[in-house]
A and B are shown apart, each in its own frame.
Chain A
Amino acid sequence: MQANPLRPPPSRRTGTVLLRWPIAVLAAVLGLVTIDATAQKRGGAIVMGLEADVSGFDPLTVGIYGPPTVDVASVLFESLTRLDDAGKAVPRLALSWMHADDYRTWTFKLRPGVRFHDGTPFDANAVKWNFDRQKDPANKCRCAAYITHIRSVEVVDPLTVVYRLNNPMVLFPEAAARVSQNTAAHSPAAVAARGAEYNRNPVGTGPYRLKSWVAGDRIVVERNPDYWDAGKSYLDQITFRPLPDSPSRFASLLSGEVDVIFHEHFDHENLARARKDKRFVVHEAPGNGAFPVYALNTKAPPLDDLRVRQALSMAIDKQRLSRVLTGGQARPATNPYGDASWVKCSDDGALPHDPAKARALLADYGKPVEFKLLVTTSPRGRAFGQALQQFWKQVGATVEIEQIDQGGFIPRALKRQYQVIGWSIVDFPDPDPQTYANFQSASATGLANASNPEIDRMLDRARASSDQRVRSADYCEIGRMVNQQALWLWTFQNHSYAIAKAKVRGIPRKHGGVTDLSRAWLE
């Protein structure tokens, strides 16, 4: 029995808000026994090569944790839950949880006896303090944008907190699992004591604590001897080094300076090489969502015409795109959910690759098709843009690529000042946050600029339902409508990689792109 059933629990209504307590201790034990069957060894040190610098951990300063920050935060900090290999939430700082019938109120029982690295206790007040600090408008935290769905956090007793949400969230414990700018539990005492220096002197409850930090070069963490689950952290030390250049990061793994590296399918030659080499293990997991994706502005000619949009969709040969850009490693996406998602569609309504049909549609449209594609100033944005430009040129559409940096890009997106715009569908456990943000008619990031009451209705129904089959069917129908109307175009499914030496064990299945070394050990 899971703490958070995805299927509707047996209906035992007693009053307006019915709370159901799970079998807490059993879940706590079951959740932690899935890591590695072999006998783990204690001791040793490993080095991980990250793809970029870590700017810090104070949410008020950094706003958002990028992927490298999340990798480091996963050993320093903890959230209330974590995901098991199947993607279900299991206890971490919370021992158990329950929800009200409408899935808008979630009550978490916290683990007793947990202390931050500075010795101060972790309790319900700390949870509320972290949330309030981010939510407080006076603090102007960018991180607040990601907790708009949470109205408040209330302390019931030192080991019980209640989250009150604005909307129903069936998978709230899953959404709270990833150690992020919003979920990491920071020591209130340390934040107060260290002020501006806290950003690079973080204090969490995690199995490792910060030992030293040389800006731009390395972050060294050591085992936390007072960890609440001290028997489950094995390494003496982990060093995180930002190695931004992909080939030299891989060379560092080959020459033995690092033991684990972040990797991407865009560096596919080295990925293929690592797969063949017995000294290494490729840890990879398909994610939910897709990247990059493109929204077609349905209010901007010529994209206001369905024939043009469908032609652009049919012109793209995703298999070929994958071969050219990733050596065939990337899996083409036909919907915004991906094969890893629990949303399973027998028919997602994806339009086929059919250049002849695309040409016919454009001929039927009758006017010249010329438009601009807006992407950010990244090499990848340009590479994809150029590939699409070629596909669309072959069916008779002329595309100009416009690249602007992130600071100018977001306002243009929000003001709908584009014809086609590059975007991404982020890898979250539940499709609701991303589908709602991208497809709901009134959403600030409803970039197709389309109003579709039917999609809105299904979005509302899917988010409020606890029946996964109903939700899956709704999301599939939404995907079908988006595909048939050609409102958005998808390219590749999200897929995350880390390459590790074979002797590094205990790396759990990757979720949301995170490489979690908190229980890693050396053979």
Chain B
Amino acid sequence: MGGFVARRLLYLLPVLLGVALLTFLIGALLPGDIATTMLGEDATPEALAELRRDLGLDQPLAVRFLGWLGQALQGDLGRSLRTGQSVAGAIAERLPVTIQLVVLAQVVALGLAIPIAIGCAVHAGGRFDRFFSGVAFASLSVPTVMSAILLIWLFAVRLEWLPATGYAPLDEGLAANLAGFAMPALTLGLAEWPALMRVLRTDLIATLQEDFIAMARAKGLRPSRVLLVHALKPSSLTLVTLTGLNVGRLLGGAVIVEQIFALPGIGRLLIGSIYARDLVTLQGTVLFVATAFVFVNMAVDLAYAGLDPRIRRGAR
């Protein structure tokens, strides 16, 4: 297993380098430049030239990339053009919000997907199966923006159960904190559960027809034990992959959901930096999100190997 982990880490290097290069090029290849953004339309050519020199913008692209990469590796993502705050500091400030949102959204998605998938697999082709397959299809077809607005209308405006917008840090109490996250997590979860449910249902149906399940049943094991222990684990490989890949999708979804529900997370930081043309923050945040995504995928690979010994052996 140790060798497997080491090899996976080695594979990451070129991927991360590619991510860094693409992120850097966002700033370098966009029309317009940082100096004009910083000094405004009335800046003199001399002032612009001086600022470009100060920022190293007069250097060749490769030199600038290496300098930027070197600083990024030391955790220095630069200072925001808009606020003067360190980008790493801004990300650290907002990261807990996005992590909590993504985790809660996964909990919602898995909490809906797993029991419904089991129910559908057990009663494959039955009324329960058909009904929830239909619901999953409908749920998949509703865009996040739409479900967010419907949820706000229902839970905040009509029923007045939950706040329409806003975030309460944990030190204001768990209840207030979760109330602020309920609708955003539900919005994201509603978009994610159908895919998870479908793959788990399909895999479970296939697994339940395997010989070792017939064997377990023949041994007289309780049906619930056969289902939840013997069948669920080997059926959850695709589910684990998809859950991992979903982190990337959820980060994308968080950009929209954080905007609608006014959560101060990474997504808002990203949108704010795009609107303000704050390239330093934009580059730093994109680099961070992309790197996080790469590492989450690696964690999924490792979890895989834990779940299925064939993968470890195959990798040898």
Contact = CB atoms under 8 A, between A and B. Distances in A.
A61 to B, nearest CB: 4
Interface string B257-282: 00111111100110110011100000
Interface in A206-264: 214-217, 241-245, 247-249, 251-252, 254-258
B83 A56 contact: yes
B165 A56 contact: no
Contacts of A304: none
A500 B50 CA distance: 47
Contact of B41 (A53, A247, A255, A444): A444
Contacts of A241: 165-166, 262
A117 to B, nearest CB: 20
Interface stretch (A84-92, A98-106, A137-145, A291-299): A137-145
A257 B163 contact: yes
Contacts of A215: 85, 90, 93-94, 264
B264 A411 contact: no
Interface residues of B, number: 50
A58 B79 CA distance: 15
B314 to A, nearest CB: 45
Interface in A378-436: 404-408, 410-411, 413-414
A102 B225 CA distance: 94
A287 interface: no
A241 to B, nearest CB: 6
A496 to B, nearest CB: 20
A295 to B, nearest CB: 15
B169 A214 contact: yes
A500 B263 CA distance: 22
B149 A247 contact: yes
A173 interface: no
Contacts of A140: 38-39, 43, 47, 51
Contacts of A52: 272, 275
Contact of B277 (A61, A196, A216, A407): A407
Given A53-B268, A215-B264, A408-B31, A251 B152 contact: yes
Given A216-B269, A243-B165, A404 B264 contact: no
B33 A407 contact: yes
Contact of A199 (B84, B157, B260, B263): B84
B32 interface: yes
Contact of A252 (B51, B94, B164, B167): B164
Given A53-B268, A251-B153, A410 B41 contact: yes
B211 interface: no
A512 interface: no
B156 interface: yes
B210 interface: no
A55 interface: yes
Contacts of A444: 41-42
Contacts of B164: 248, 251-252, 254-255, 257
Contact of A216 (B41, B82, B94, B160): B94
Nearest to B278: A55
A240 to B, nearest CB: 12
Nearest to B31: A408
A104 to B, nearest CB: 21
Interface in B145-188: 148-149, 152-153, 156-157, 160, 163-167, 169
A506 interface: no
Given A216-B272, A217-B167, A411 B84 contact: no
Chain B CB within 10 Å, residue with most, of A58, A404, A406: A406
A244 B83 contact: no
B284 to A, nearest CB: 14
A140 B81 CA distance: 13
A53 B260 contact: no
A56 B81 CA distance: 11
Interface in B27-52: 30-33, 36-43, 47, 51
Contacts of A56: 82-84
B278 to A, nearest CB: 8
A241 B79 CA distance: 24
A62 interface: yes
Nearest to B153: A251
Nearest to B267: A216
Contacts of A357: none
A338 interface: no
Contacts of A254: 156-157, 164
A63 interface: yes
A200 interface: yes
Given A216-B94, A255-B163, A257-B165, A414 B41 contact: yes
Given A145-B41, A245-B259, A62 B156 contact: no
Nearest to B262: A243
A255 B153 CA distance: 10
20 contacts: A49-B165, A62-B82, A199-B84, A200-B85, A215-B85, A215-B93, A217-B167, A241-B166, A241-B262, A243-B166, A245-B260, A248-B149, A249-B165, A251-B165, A257-B166, A258-B165, A405-B31, A406-B37, A407-B33, A445-B41
Given A249-B262, A251-B165, A445-B41, 7 more contacts: A55-B80, A62-B83, A142-B40, A241-B166, A241-B262, A245-B165, A411-B32
Q: Which 6 A-B pairs have the closest CB atoms?
A: A407-B32, A216-B264, A217-B264, A251-B164, A142-B40, A145-B42
